[in-house]
């Protein structure tokens, strides 16, 4: 498999270079690892999952991997094909557009609520995460930038203090995360996204809920538009093919 998924710093390896997975909650760990490989594009959309190779890479038996694929099928990240194995679910322009129409409204509402409810300690916490993300952006460290970007989005949901909103957003978060990862490919978009994050910090400081809503809604809409732009480019190049580019292919895009 090309373009190994997670940074090695987030995994543990033995002296032979084999990935170590503790046998406590093995099933959940396999789900998490394969999910991250899909979100990051290491397992590209539309690609058939070679389960034997993947099991060997993760150093697990086929049973927990097959169970993990069932869970990921429930999250609509994997498609199980009778008698033909499984493939990574492709992303489509129409699907991404519809997703971000919804997620932009949900997360913008969260930002509006958080602007009024965020505590001083929470403000310190989110600003620290923002500062670290800005450094990764400056150094061109895309994976670390994305991890902190995701953390900040999650913080805003938490600081909104609305359990119903959190539950609704959780149903869409994996799909949104996958699409947002595609959008960070563009250096220009990352610069615009950083400006949005900075503006949101200012709105939180000012307790300006209206401004926070507007900034964050446009931030999510722009992410969706950038993802659709990348998908359209790829669809034009691979007409009739559901395959979505992986990391190495995305690095050469626009």
Q: Tens place of pLDDT for every residue, the chain, 254 residues?
A: 333 334 334 455 555 565 655 544 788 899 999 998 998 888 988 899 999 999 999 999 999 999 999 999 998 899 998 878 899 998 889 999 999 999 999 999 999 999 999 999 999 999 999 999 999 999 989 889 989 999 999 999 999 999 999 999 998 888 888 887 777 665 567 889 999 999 999 999 999 999 999 999 999 999 999 889 888 887 776 655 555 554 444 443 33
- Put simply, whether the predicted model's pTM sits higher than 0.85 gets the answer no
Q: Please indicate, yes or no, if residue 1 is contained in any of the structural domains.
A: no
- Sign, CA dihedral 90-180-165-112, equals negative
84 and 115 within one domain: no
109 and 77 within one domain: no
124 and 53 within one domain: no
Q: Please indicate, yes or no, if residue 2 is contained in any of the structural domains.
A: no
191 and 84 within one domain: no
- Rounded CA-CA distance 213/201 in Å is 12
Task: Give the structural domain span for 38.
Answer: 8-88
Q: Between the CA of residue 15 and those of 10, 18, 134, what are the distances in Å?
A: 16, 7, 35
């Amino acid at each position: 498999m090309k373009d190994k998924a997670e940074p090695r710093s987030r995994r543990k390896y033995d002296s032979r270079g084999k990935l170590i997975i503790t046998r406590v909650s093995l099933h959940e760990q396999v789900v998490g690892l394969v999910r991250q490989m899909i979100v990051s594009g290491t397992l590209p959309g539309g690609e058939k999952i070679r389960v034997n190779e993947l099991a060997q890479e993760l150093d697990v038996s086929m049973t927990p991997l097959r169970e993990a694929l069932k869970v990921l099928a429930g999250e609509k990240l994997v498609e199980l094909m009778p008698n033909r194995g499984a493939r990574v679910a492709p992303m489509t322009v129409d699907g991404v557009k519809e997703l971000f129409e919804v997620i932009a409204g949900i997360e913008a509402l969260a930002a509006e609520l958080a602007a009024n409810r965020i505590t001083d300690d929470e403000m310190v916490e989110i600003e620290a995460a923002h500062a670290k993300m800005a450094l990764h952006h400056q150094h061109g460290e895309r994976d670390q930038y994305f991890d902190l970007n995701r953390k900040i989005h999650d913080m805003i949901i938490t600081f909104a203090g609305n359990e119903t909103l959190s539950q609704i957003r959780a149903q869409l978060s994996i799909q949104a995360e996958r699409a947002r990862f595609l959008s960070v490919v563009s250096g220009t978009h990352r610069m615009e996204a950083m400006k949005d994050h900075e503006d949101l910090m200012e709105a939180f400081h000012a307790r300006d809920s209206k401004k926070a809503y507007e900034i964050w809604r446009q931030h999510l809409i722009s992410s969706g538009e950038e993802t659709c732009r990348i998908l359209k480019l790829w669809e034009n190049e691979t007409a009739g093919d559901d395959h979505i580019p992986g990391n190495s292919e995305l690095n050469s895009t626009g």
